[in-house]
Amino acid sequence: MKRSLLYFAMATCLLIMAGCAKDETGIIPSNLSNVRTEERPGGIFVQWDKPSDNTVMYVRISYYDHLLKKDVSRLSSCDTILLPNTRHKFGEYKMAIQPFSSTDTAGKVENLTGTSGKAPITTVASQLTLKASDLSTNAQEASEGPIANLLDGNTSTYFHTTWNNPPAAPHWMQVNLPQEITEFYRFFYAPRNNANNKPTDFDLMGSSDGTTWFLLKNFTKEADNLPVTATGTYTSGDLSAEEPFKYIRFSVNKTNSGSVFWTMSEFKFYAVKIVDPEAETGNK
């Protein structure tokens, strides 16, 4: 009887020890296969084939983040992951990929390299706050269309250069900008909501002192698709400031009705910053 009890106790201990050993080791995940990378804009796309035995619960990828300047890790429970905010200029990224099972048991580490696609260029446009006192003209019509109407947010009102014994062409509208433009810019305007006196050829002039002027760009209906309908508007592309300026003149050479005078309902001006992440300085 005593011998039977001894055998039972020993068997129980062995079972307990076996259970403890299983708890300590857990489920060992099988190896990943066919691990590969692809370039994505500002990112590295990593993909792999998961083993068919379903022993892999999630995957961890570790690498050095050049922008954060530290080692980072990312997890995926799928068979893909995108590593964001990477840069093509940093060359090959060295990575370590490792599977984990449902018991958080780590599997085999595999080393790989991947190259990021170029991060996309972004454009940030900031509308400048203009006041009526920033606007002036050499040809204000006294009976209608005060120049301040360009800033009231209402396309039913308008600015009108003088038709009553008008001065010689060109009639211009000047804007004293609240800041100097040194990089890029754009502008918007809406013509008066009728069919006449719409600019079809104008010079955008620039000046750093309000006295000496230079041509920024000539715009025409044919080349720039200037609006001549009652509801059309115009937004320029992002233009480079070849030299700094703080004043602009909108100087009209021709209109769709052949008049020397012209009209406009709204005007906006933007300072534009174009950011190229690949050109920004940074250490590897």
3-state secondary structure 69-116: CEEEEEEECCCEEEEECCCHHHCEEEEEEEEECCCCCECCCEEEEEEC
Is 19 a residue whose pLDDT tops 50? no
Verify that 66 and 134 share a domain, yes or no.
no
With respect to residue 280, please indicate whether it lies within any of the assigned structural domains.
Answer: no
What confidence score (pLDDT) does residue 3 get?
47
Is 258 a residue whose pLDDT tops 70? yes
What confidence score (pLDDT) does residue 213 get?
98
Verify that 141 and 55 share a domain, yes or no.
no
Residue 178: closest CA among 126, 130, 249, 250: 130
The domain that holds 172 is classified in CATH as 2.60.120.260
Verify that 106 and 131 share a domain, yes or no.
no
**Which residue, 54, 85, 119, sits at the end of a domain?**
119
Domain that holds residue 208: 125-275
What confidence score (pLDDT) does residue 25 get?
63
Q: Which two tokens stand for residue 220?
A: 């025409």
With respect to residue 14, please indicate whether it lies within any of the assigned structural domains.
Answer: no
With respect to residue 9, please indicate whether it lies within any of the assigned structural domains.
Answer: no
Verify that 114 and 145 share a domain, yes or no.
no
Verify that 55 and 181 share a domain, yes or no.
no
Q: Could you give the CA distance from residue 262 to residue 141 in angstroms, rounded to a whole number?
A: 10
**Which residue, 86, 119, 152, sits at the end of a domain?**
119
With respect to residue 19, please indicate whether it lies within any of the assigned structural domains.
Answer: no
Is 180 a residue whose pLDDT tops 50? yes
Is 16 a residue whose pLDDT tops 50? no
Report, as an integer, the average pLDDT of 47-75. Answer: 96
Residue 264: closest CA among 167, 137, 177, 164: 137
Report, as an integer, the average pLDDT of 239-252. Answer: 97
What confidence score (pLDDT) does residue 6 get?
40
Mean pLDDT taken over the chain: 91
Q: What angle do CA 259, 163, 160 make, to 5 degrees?
A: 90
How does residue 8 score in pLDDT terms, banded at 50, 70 and 90? Answer: very low
Q: How many domains does the chain have?
A: 2
The residues, ordered by sequence, that sit 6+ positions from 45 with a Cβ below 8 Å of its Cβ are: 37, 38, 39, 80, 81, 82, 83
Verify that 161 and 251 share a domain, yes or no.
yes
Q: Which two tokens stand for residue 46?
A: 């990593």
Verify that 151 and 106 share a domain, yes or no.
no
Verify that 89 and 153 share a domain, yes or no.
no
pTM reported for the whole predicted model: 0.72
Share of the chain above pLDDT 90, in %: 87
With respect to residue 252, please indicate whether it lies within any of the assigned structural domains.
Answer: yes
Q: Could you give the CA distance from residue 80 to residue 35 in angstroms, rounded to a whole number?
A: 10
Rg value, the chain, Cα: 35
Report, as an integer, the average pLDDT of 103-123. Answer: 96
With respect to residue 160, please indicate whether it lies within any of the assigned structural domains.
Answer: yes
Verify that 75 and 139 share a domain, yes or no.
no
Verify that 160 and 247 share a domain, yes or no.
yes
Q: Could you give the CA distance from residue 115 to residue 92 in angstroms, rounded to a whole number?
A: 5
What confidence score (pLDDT) does residue 22 get?
42
Higher pLDDT, 93 or 8: 93
Range name among 10-14, 99-103, 243-247, 258-262 with the lowest pLDDT average: 10-14
Verify that 115 and 129 share a domain, yes or no.
no
Q: Is residue 59 classed as helix, strand or coil in its secondary structure?
A: strand
With respect to residue 283, please indicate whether it lies within any of the assigned structural domains.
Answer: no
Report, as an integer, the average pLDDT of 211-222. Answer: 98
Read off the DSSP letter of residue 181. Answer: E
Q: Could you give the CA distance from residue 26 to residue 28 in angstroms, rounded to a whole number?
A: 6
Q: Which two tokens stand for residue 24?
A: 């300590």
**Which residue, 119, 141, 164, sits at the end of a domain?**
119
With respect to residue 1, please indicate whether it lies within any of the assigned structural domains.
Answer: no
Verify that 235 and 257 share a domain, yes or no.
yes
Report, as an integer, the average pLDDT of 159-178. Answer: 95
Q: Which two tokens stand for residue 93?
A: 């990224």
Per residue in 119-168, pLDDT (tens digit) is 999 999 999 999 999 999 999 999 999 999 999 999 999 999 999 988 99
